[in-house]
Structure 1
Amino acid sequence: MSEQFFYPPRNFGSLPAPKTDFQSAKVVILPVPYDSTTAYKSGTRDGPMAIIDASQYLELYDLELDREIYQVGIHTLPEVQTVMSGPEGMVHRVYQVARELLEAGKTIVMLGGEHSLTLGMVKAYRERYKGLSVLQLDAHADLRDEYEGAKYSHACVMRRVWEFCPIVQVGIRSLSLEERQFLKQRGLEPFYMEKFARDRDSVAKVVSSLSDTVYITIDLDVLDPAVMSAVGTPEPGGMGWYELVEFVRAVSQQKRVVGFDLVEFCPREGPTSCAFLAAKLAYKVIGYITSAE
């Protein structure tokens, strides 16, 4: 029967076969609708499908890159089923899924969901790429040892990652005294947003701080609320669109970016334009990291 009688498939970009075939696709979209430890506004569990729905209206040709990014093959996986035992169990499930996908040779794009999920991704990636470092783009440090009795909270995710993998933090503009003291004790210095925006050499300094192989985690609150209000915990003074994408492109040109995630998108807290921004960002970054190959 002709496909013209049916709505487009609910996959990222509403892509046609065979570019969505799992076996041949270079990239897989991994939606994880989970937000059990969100501190302020819940709803990031609705983020993955809102991004996928918005992506169906993207122009598939990218003017900047002068190509149709989807030609690398992008397969959208089903949503990962929630583990009800708590965030640690959910992190482990993400790790298990990511490990299998990496064994299949896929580049993973995880759509969250809350930031705690990133830990499972990094664990799987670190096993496969021993020299991996993590680039965190975020308004918050997420370096607490424990938050509200949980060590696997979104507020602790980078502390858990730091315990086994080098991290480079960019865009930070909000943190607790505990986190600041931890940074001082460990000799760590994030690229705080205020200094990052003013220093012309910021991008070069970040790039030199990273290893050759990089995983990028993008908490969408790294963006200014004027452009991205639909996040779990908004923070003024963030990046603009071009500032963010030009930075990610520079990193992708000079390092091997093997995967990334977009997290903390909370569609109920902002206009529809925020979902379109998140979808466009995901598509752009896919383009950047596959251009470098």
Structure 2
Amino acid sequence: MSFDPSAAAQPGSGVFGLPHSEEDAGVVLVPVPFEATTSYGGGTNRGPEAILSASRQVDLFDVETGRPYEAGIHMLEVPEAIARLDEEARAAAAPVIAAGGVVVGREDLARAAQAVDRACEQVNRWVEERVEGLLARGKRVGLVGGDHSTALGCIAAHARRHPGLGVLHVDAHADLRVAFEGFTYSHASVIYNAAERCPGIGRIVQVGLRDLSEEEHAYAGRSSGRIVQHHDARLAQARFDGEPWAATVRRIVEPLPRDVYVSFDVDGLDPTLCPHTGTPVPGGLSFQEATALIGGIVRSGRRIVGFDLVEVAPDPEGGEWDGNVGARLLYKLIGWMLRSRAA
């Protein structure tokens, strides 16, 4: 039976209702259901499944990027070993998070934090090896989290393959904290870890920041331009002063090198779009602003070589809005990545 891109998704079909296998897909999505260090709201470990379910309602023709589905898109099965590890690591992390971090004199908390770090290291290795293998086979790869800590292995694999890589980081938070709450691989430390552990990264451009510590701001300031921050308040002021969003996008993209990896935390969006994300913050980008920013990378002549989409958490009451937004953002990321490779 031939595939009809305009028909309803068939029962049991893959991501976006597509029939592609890992072997014949040009784009492979790696789901990572892990959120051990989440310190506020939870549920991002169910993000990949929520996005997969909602993706089957996405129309496959896109007026900006054309027919991304023609390249073949496949999401791997949710890895049961990572899901089990997440359950164990969340149990170990719970008393540490409840105490506000590792407290001096509490050896039990220190041991628990070390156990969580070991679990995170396993996840990082699994992700990095899986992504490296897919890249070696010529696949284009996107990671679907999980909390933001899950992205480190994917960033590392792409930075190794593309020396001098630029990272466009969309987020409400800078994620430049050092060992937050005692966890070396915290979701609040992922960009710090990428900057410190991935020498292949040439520049990191952060967009939408509106909740960060003074230390994170200072760390970026000491980076000699390797980390460029665009704070939400200043982006908003530029809009109020009359700067068109297209001009803002050009200004954001200008410092990036030719090859760009997009690390997209959905709390970088206005929280009405993904209200159940782990750490929502007022402000942020509209959906159109976010997708115009992604498209602006490609329109500038740069290419998107990979991405992650993290921190989507489904409504605990069963609503599908968060997954719906996440699935549509995912399709835009895929579409623009493919457009940039074709250019």
Does the alignment reach a TM-score above 0.5? yes
Q: Distance in 2 between matches of 1:156 and 1:287?
A: 29
What SS is found at the alignment partner of 2:181? Answer: coil
Structure 2: which 5+ runs fail to align?
Answer: 4-8, 89-117
User: Is residue 194 from structure 1 mapped to residue 233 from structure 2 by the alignment?
Assistant: yes
Q: Distance in 1 between matches of 2:72 and 2:64?
A: 19
Q: Distance in 2 between matches of 1:176 and 1:64?
A: 37
1:31 is aligned to 31
1:180 is aligned to 217
- Pairs within 5 Å for 1:1-293: 8-16=11-19, 20-65=20-65, 67-80=66-79, 81-82=81-82, 83=85, 85-163=118-196, 164=199, 165=201, 166-187=203-224, 188-199=227-238, 200=243, 201-254=247-300, 255-268=302-315, 271-292=319-340, 293=342
> Mean alpha-carbon deviation: is it higher for 85-94 or for 258-267?
85-94
CA shift, 1:269, in A, is: 5.6
CA shift, 1:49, in A, is: 0.6
Query: Residue deviations 1:153-207, cap 9 Å, x none?
Result: 1010000111232311111111012212322333444011122234333211221
The structure with more radius of gyration: 2
Letter of the aligned partner of 1:158 in structure 2?
I
Query: Residue deviations 1:1-49, cap 9 Å, x none?
Result: 9x9xx95224211113xxx133332101111111101010121000001
> Mean alpha-carbon deviation: is it higher for 155-164 or for 188-197?
188-197
CA contact (8 A) 2:315 2:322 kept: no
> Mean alpha-carbon deviation: is it higher for 83-92 or for 161-170?
83-92
CA shift, 1:60, in A, is: 1.2
2:109 is aligned to none
Q: Distance in 1 between matches of 2:58 and 2:270?
A: 22
Q: Distance in 2 between matches of 1:63 and 1:181?
A: 41
Q: Distance in 1 between matches of 2:228 and 2:339?
A: 31
What SS is found at the alignment partner of 2:125? Answer: helix
> Mean alpha-carbon deviation: is it higher for 117-126 or for 175-184?
175-184
Letter of the aligned partner of 2:310 in structure 1?
V
CA contact (8 A) 1:37 1:87 kept: no
CA contact (8 A) 2:10 2:17 kept: no
CA shift, 1:211, in A, is: 0.8
Query: Residue deviations 1:62-101, cap 9 Å, x none?
Result: 2333x33201111221123314542122111111111111
Q: Distance in 1 between matches of 2:237 and 2:259?
A: 27
CA contact (8 A) 1:10 1:53 kept: no
Q: Distance in 1 between matches of 2:150 and 2:156?
A: 11
Alignment size in residue pairs: 286
Q: Distance in 1 between matches of 2:321 and 2:151?
A: 25
Letter of the aligned partner of 2:188 in structure 1?
A
Q: Distance in 2 between matches of 1:220 and 1:10?
A: 25
Letter of the aligned partner of 2:234 in structure 1?
K
Query: Residue deviations 1:105-149, cap 9 Å, x none?
Result: 111111100101111001111111112111100000000111111
Q: Distance in 1 between matches of 2:60 and 2:67?
A: 5
Letter of the aligned partner of 1:58 in structure 2?
V
Q: Distance in 2 between matches of 1:38 and 1:263?
A: 12
Provide TM-score, normalisation by structure 2.
0.79
Q: Distance in 1 between matches of 2:309 and 2:216?
A: 23
Provide TM-score, normalisation by structure 1.
0.92
